[in-house]
A and B are shown apart, each in its own frame.
Chain A
């Protein structure tokens, strides 16, 4: 019977939760990619803590993921996650954040966590808009876009979040779009497995509030097709002229470093060295 068949990821979902998003939202793809990555790694779900802040991305783990979830204030998820990880380094700590949450109100925590190279996995769902509050401009909104707070067009420059993570010291950085669900799954698994600050930038569609900005209102398939056509793998970037790369989304694993010391390891060594009275 069909009703007897359980979704292979059902065991990760907190009983009693309903996954609610707008039609066509990319959150479901991100939730599945993350849970598949965890399944593939054969990790004990009880050993993973998810921390998220305010905005649509915050609802990917909370309350639906059936493990410890901490849903906090706007922009501060990484700061809370830092306290969790430093106190119990055995736990895998994964942060979900939107582009506004991570790079506007929470930008400071993002760059400093990368600088410290603390073992966190930060997954940013970058839909280039404030979706939860219905369509205001974000630091990631393309120039000249007309949003509810840029009715004459966005005058500001945009953040490249992966570049920011790389410059600040992240040891693993990957960017994909929701079109690249399989690649995302692999990179998220690598990010969780890797000791150090790992950053996943997932370009995602918000058909309701960003779709209308680019003339694709409520049209998730067109937005995802555009992700496909605009994406170019980092390994192929050299074949592009500067002009034609402006409009492209560079995807792939952008940073994968193995040499840098990780913060919780350094602290444990220090405890061993200076510890006196337990």
Chain B
């Protein structure tokens, strides 16, 4: 652990230090801009903390090795950008299906395709939710600063372990490459670190999969004789691909494990919402511009509030629905062409006006004045 109290570091480096505090002992990755600093720093740090680093032959292999590592008992992580996520998607599906706790950091860049490696875009918001085949739910967290890259990587590991599922940390070029002061915990012993529940007895008749209460994990090498498959299976891992009832149970237990626990997973941050008439709804790096705009607006006595999704998935539709009852207008700020915008409209369901605002040039930082002018137009 870091002995100094603060560092002036890049978001990507803060992410690595957060992972180590969380207990990460395995990192597999493949070089990609703008996430490579995470792999580079991990290659130095993992062996110092009795962990493992491997640079794999591709991203398919990175995520596969991370899943294997988690089943062998380690807290494990990979980091990449959009193209890497695209390559990982099939194996991310296997991680979800087999209920494997792990963390995937996506330092987003411009796309589609090779796109612009060092231009920031919130282009993967939907691809992490729906990129793999079939029906499932994911958890994703959107940090907005190097400090949050540190704090939220710890949190990502905690909820991955708690709910036995992959968790995405959705950074972007701005957050990953930004350098800011990061404060380390005063007392590491006081941090809440959650470790997965492991099956305690090989002869236990308790299920090992598919519980909305999260089944204990039969970690390899303990005589549990774990039967782990990406095929449709029951509570003990037995494959059954012919009975629709088994598939129904398989899909619903996996999704409800996340959806039934939304209140514990979802986090939002509200500023000046008490009397807000116009709301800036944002997530990730864009939230910084939203907050700055709110401060400027309040100086001019315009009643604007900031509503930030700290977790984007699972989507907080109930919270947004309730919030919308007391406001006139919600402006959805996204550094894309509106990936959560339809979800917000659906949640608001006519109770307030909903408008999308992308930056005037995609990939450029939102100018608070640009946002403020839009608010004034709206008034």
Contact = CB atoms under 8 A, between A and B. Distances in A.
A47 B221 contact: yes
A138 interface: no
A113 B128 CA distance: 29
A62 B238 CA distance: 10
A87 B25 contact: yes
Given A47-B221, A270-B47, A108 B58 contact: yes
Interface string B206-236: 0000000000001011111111111100000
A68 B57 contact: no
B76 A83 contact: yes
Interface stretch (B67-75, B115-123, B275-283, B300-308): B67-75
A271 B47 contact: yes
Contacts of A112: 56-57, 61
Contacts of A276: 48-49
A68 B54 contact: no
Contacts of A63: 227, 229, 237-239
A49 B49 CA distance: 26
A86 interface: yes
A108 B229 contact: no
B69 to A, nearest CB: 4
A71 B68 contact: no
Interface stretch (A23-31, A74-82, A222-230, A232-240): A74-82
B66 interface: yes
A83 B58 contact: no
Contacts of A109: 57, 61, 64
A164 to B, nearest CB: 15
A46 interface: yes
A276 B44 CA distance: 12
Interface in A43-90: 46-47, 49, 51, 62-63, 66-73, 76, 79-88, 90
A4 interface: no
Contact of A69 (B58, B222, B227): B227
Interface of A is mostly: mixed
Contacts of B58: 108
Contacts of A47: 221
Given A63-B239, A108-B58, A112-B57, A79 B64 contact: yes
Given A14-B227, A69-B228, A270-B47, A83 B221 contact: no
A54 B54 CA distance: 25
Given A72-B64, A86-B65, A86-B69, A267 B47 contact: yes
B60 interface: yes
A181 interface: no
A226 to B, nearest CB: 34
B91 interface: yes
B1 interface: yes
Contacts of B69: 83-84, 86-87
Given A83-B26, A83-B28, A73 B68 contact: no
Nearest to B66: A83
Contacts of B72: 49, 83-85, 87-88, 91
Given A68-B225, A69-B228, A275 B60 contact: no
Given A73-B94, A82-B61, A274-B48, 18 more contacts: A46-B221, A46-B225, A62-B227, A63-B237, A63-B239, A69-B228, A70-B229, A71-B228, A72-B91, A79-B61, A80-B65, A82-B65, A84-B220, A87-B73, A88-B220, A108-B57, A267-B52, A278-B49
Which 8 residue pairs of A and B lie closest in terms of their CB atoms, listed nearest first? A83-B68, A83-B65, A79-B64, A87-B72, A83-B69, A79-B61, A71-B229, A80-B68
